[in-house]
């Protein structure tokens, strides 16, 4: 058997294996992340399920809010219902893109790509501690 034929067989086997693997989606502790419910009322943008979303990713509302508001360059606050009220009209795609960036930077484990992590601080150093593989990765404070 020549090497080209062996390579083709190997690639065919790999393709067959990858087709049998389950799709990997955004899950935390075996639960799929909810999509953000974003409303526009006048010149105000409201994320209705903000507190639930933050709880699901194991992050404090204030940290997520600080990141979003800093990136948007807009004032806002979390009301008593757990909704984030942002002063300004922002599209759903912009907010979802920023939250995806937040997930990659401050939630997802850089070693195993799990979202099952906690954010810890030690003096002035912030790091992500993975509950799946035990890795600890330093991150830039928000």
pLDDT per residue over 53-68, tens digit each? 999 898 999 999 999 9
Question: What's the pLDDT at 1?
Answer: 56
Is residue 95 within 8 A of residue 47, CB to CB? The reply is yes
Rounded mean pLDDT of 101-115?
88
Rounded mean pLDDT of 87-105?
90
In the three-class reduction of DSSP (H, G, I as helix; E, B as strand; rest coil), residue 109 is classed as coil
Residue 121 has pLDDT above 70, yes or no: yes
Q: In Å, how far are 14, 16, 23, 98, 135 from 20, measured between CA atoms?
A: 10, 7, 9, 32, 28
Beta bridge partners of 84: 47, 78
Number of C-alpha atoms within 13 angstroms, CB side, residue 71? Answer: 17
């Amino acid at each position: 058997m020549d090497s080209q034929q062996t390579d083709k067989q190997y690639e065919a086997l790999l393709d067959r294996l990858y087709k049998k693997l389950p799709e990997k989606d955004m899950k935390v502790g075996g639960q799929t992340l909810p999509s953000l419910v974003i409303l526009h009322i006048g010149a105000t943008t409201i994320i209705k399920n903000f507190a639930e979303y933050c709880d699901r990713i194991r992050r404090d509302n204030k940290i997520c809010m600080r990141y979003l508001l800093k990136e948007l360059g807009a004032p806002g606050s979390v009301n008593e219902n757990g909704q984030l009220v942002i002063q300004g009209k922002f599209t759903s795609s912009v907010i979802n893109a920023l939250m995806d960036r937040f997930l990659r930077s401050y939630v997802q484990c850089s070693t195993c790509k799990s979202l099952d992590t906690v954010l810890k601080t030690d003096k002035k150093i912030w790091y992500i501690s993975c509950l799946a593989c035990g890795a600890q990765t330093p991150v830039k404070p928000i």
